Amino acid sequence: MRRGAFQLLALSALLLAGVSGAQEAEDAGTLEVPATSDAAPAAEGAPGEATPAEEPPPGFAHQVEANGYLANRLAYGRSRFSGLISTADLPQWLDLLELNAQLKVSYHPHGFAYADVSAIAQLGLDYRSLDSSGFEQTTMWRDAPGVRPLISLNELYVLHEFAPWLNLLIGKKRLTWGASLAFNPTDLLNVRKDPTDPTFQRAGAWLARLEVPLESSAFTLLFAPQVTESAFGIPYGLLAYPDWDSKRPDTDVHYLVAARAYFLVADTDVNVMAYFSNKYLDDFANKVRLGASVSRIFFDTWEVHAEGLLQQGSARAYVEPECVASPMAAVRCAAQVRAFASRSRLTDPTWLPTAVVGVRKTFDDDSFASVEYLFQADGYRPDQYQDLVNAYDGVAQARALGVNPATLMGASLLFPQASGDGSTPSRFSFAPTAKHYAFITLNKPRIRDDFTAQLVVIGNLQDLSTLWTPSLTWSTTEWLQLQLVGFIPVPGPNALAARLQSTGRYVSEYGSFPQLFRVFFEVRLFY
Amino acid sequence: MHALVLMLLAADPTVAELLAKYDSIMGPAQFEAEATMTATREDGTARTYGMKFLKKDQDKFRLWFSEPAAVKGQEMLRNGDNLWIYIPNLKRATRVANRDNFQGGDFNNADVLRVNYQADYDGKLIDSDAPDAWCIELKAKSKETSYDSIKLWMRKSDFQPLKGQYFGTSGQMIRSATFTDHKEFEKGFTRPGRIVMQNELVKTRKSEMRTSRMTLKVDVPAQRFTQADLGK
């Protein structure tokens, strides 16, 4: 496939559709916003006195619908500057201002263009970290990559329905086929959602999708090219790294092809999925993966779901135990130019499942409780997690001795790069490392009508460390929402934790969270 | 003979006939409608939701929220006994139960998205306290329904619903409804333009549904009532 051809085609189609829709709406001299609530209410009248009906609506008219929000989030998090993860780029105070706009232009009775865009400005203050002597150092201001302003093109697509049973979508859209709430193993397309608030991450993936919806089934085929170049959240390279990019890591074509069949059978949602990808957001080449999900309501108020992905091998990075067993072993590996970490199971023929099973119970007052269990066969065993901790410990030691860990072979795999696709900054990035996790959500809406309380607990079931996320949301009016959220990582028992070789300190997954705690207050105005 | 015909004409309708009438008025086989629901809460404040409905066959229902801005883009779908809600921020559909409250108001999802009393309830005619209305007592056929029993008043002259009382499994009245502003939305089709659902457990709560437009002349493909169509 010719490099850049797809992105040009897709972007041209989007722009043409958007311009065409907007132009036609303008030509028609109308900017119609369907406003059912603005319609005149039914005339008051005594029972039995029938009044004449309103005229039926006219046929199709070009429509532009716009809505969105303005949100400001002020967060404070106490940096765990003496932990395993560097906090040099992590501000203790962060103010994030987001202006979101969602625009839908219906350019045809069977087609529309849609955009969901956020402009984000951030201000980070008070950076705490350790200096080379091991003492706390404070920097009030700095240019941290995660705190730069950005435009997040969450979604931007055109959808055209050629017939009720055939539609085509081109652009960027967040598609989720799986039934799980906190974590979707079958979601190979999107930026991971935040399990402490699955509604928060709204950024999708660039793709072309052909769908055949039928009465109780649907069949989908999609092609997704990877974004290779972007600036301020706006992509300008898809599928392959351009020739002019002096830092291009490879000359491969990065894409994913997926097919999905959906069936509504015996009141159960059933999805069956197949994926073929080549270095799409991971290092798998020509990889086939299979997925499935089911969801059903039992006994009127119990929603039960399961979702799983099956793949051969793993793209996860594993630490070489012989290189991190001791400082001397590390020196020996460095001298022999052996990799400290590698994707050693990339071509492993073993079928490795990742699965989530869960249940959600809704109560009479609309509160709900949800419990989900995640199993990932390629997750670290406790001894492999100990190797990882040893590696992080060694990196910290090397830094203290003035050695740049980036020069050590394979060490870069221990520090995965954040997505450069300009997605909305996460409250919390969930990158599960262990084999077993639990997610518990308790939600109680309408406490004194406008308040919703929620508690989300994520637990690593191997070391029993947890992350507690309580929140209180107040919908003060129909257009203003205030939210207070806390993040409290709690270490697991020492008996289940890994141990630092350098200090003997115990380390569990959430006990090594780069912040001791975090709270934020958000004001969101809808329009 | 003439007298016999008159007697037959004056005879009470059967419960089955009354339920068929109720379903044809409150849940015609297919229609498109626009409505607003105003939920009055315990503190006296109110929230108003704008929405558009689409119904096809007896068990396919679609709903789009247009107001307020905080819920704009939310959608609901019923297909048979299955109910989904699409939340734009979640970018996906989630299954919900029929008994869940509709947008936190005093209607529940089935009140709005499922009107099929013939299928859901058995009934009998009982003495009416209003001389111009029939009164039917309905008993749920299964535990899947929203209410355990219902008392329903329908006007004798045109079978329009006037009043309803809704009871839980304990026998306690949990909701009551008044149907007013009967309006001819389309030639030959009249139904209440306003329904007020009173919460009988928390007397300060009530929800009012006003229908501003309704047409039975709709031709929509079955694909509009599939999970894949949500969020388009």
In the DSSP assignment, the letter for residue A59 is S
pLDDT given for residue A224 in this prediction: 97
- Which residues of chain B does A303 touch, with a Cβ-Cβ cutoff of 8 Å? 94-97
A206 neighbors A239 (Cβ within 8 angstroms): no
Q: At what angle do helices A382-400 and A327-335 cross, to 10 degrees?
A: 80
Q: Could you read off the pLDDT tens digit of each residue along chain B, which spans 232 residues? A: 555 554 445 567 899 999 999 999 998 989 999 999 998 888 888 889 999 999 998 789 999 999 888 888 899 999 888 889 998 878 888 888 766 677 767 777 777 777 788 888 999 999 888 889 999 999 998 877 878 999 999 999 999 999 999 999 889 999 999 999 999 999 999 999 999 999 999 888 899 999 999 999 888 888 899 998 998 8
A458 neighbors A465 (Cβ within 8 angstroms): no
Say if B6 falls within a structural domain. Answer: no
Domain that holds residue B127: 12-229
Tokens of A277: 């990808």
In the DSSP assignment, the letter for residue A462 is T
Q: Which residues contact A525 (CB under 8 A, 6 or more apart)?
A: A69, A70, A71, A479, A480
Q: Cβ of A341: how many Cβ atoms within 10 Å?
A: 22
Say if B182 falls within a structural domain. Answer: yes
A476 touches chain B (CB under 8 A): no
pTM flag (> 0.90)? no
Say if B86 falls within a structural domain. Answer: yes
B223/A448 CB distance under 8 A: no
- Which residues of chain A does B49 touch, with a Cβ-Cβ cutoff of 8 Å? 37
Could you please report the per-residue DSSP string of A396-442? HHHHHTT--GGGSTTGGGGSPPPP-S-PPPPS------BSEEEEEEE
Burial, A60: exposed, middle or buried (Cβ in 10 Å; 0-12, 13-18, 19+)? exposed
Could you please report the per-residue DSSP string of A76-103? EEEE-TTSSS--TT-EEEEEEEEEEEEE
Say if B152 falls within a structural domain. Answer: yes
Say if B4 falls within a structural domain. Answer: no
What number is the average pLDDT over the span A288-305? Answer: 94
* pLDDT at A25 exceeding the cut of 50: no
Q: What is the CATH number of the domain that holds B188?
A: 2.50.20.10
Give residues 181 to 220 of A whose Cβ lies within 8 Å of B.
181, 198-200, 202, 204, 211, 213-216, 218, 220
High-pLDDT (> 70) share of chain A, %: 85
Nearest to A437 by CA among A506, A353, A494, A356: A356
How far is Cα A328 from Cα A325, in angstroms, rounded to an integer?
Answer: 8
Say if B7 falls within a structural domain. Answer: no
How far is Cα A493 from Cα A250, in angstroms, rounded to an integer?
Answer: 44
Q: Is A525 helix (H, G, I), strand (E, B) or coil?
A: strand
A38 touches chain B (CB under 8 A): yes
Say if B1 falls within a structural domain. Answer: no
Please give the tally of structural domains in chain B: 1
Say if B193 falls within a structural domain. Answer: yes
A37/B182 CB distance under 8 A: no
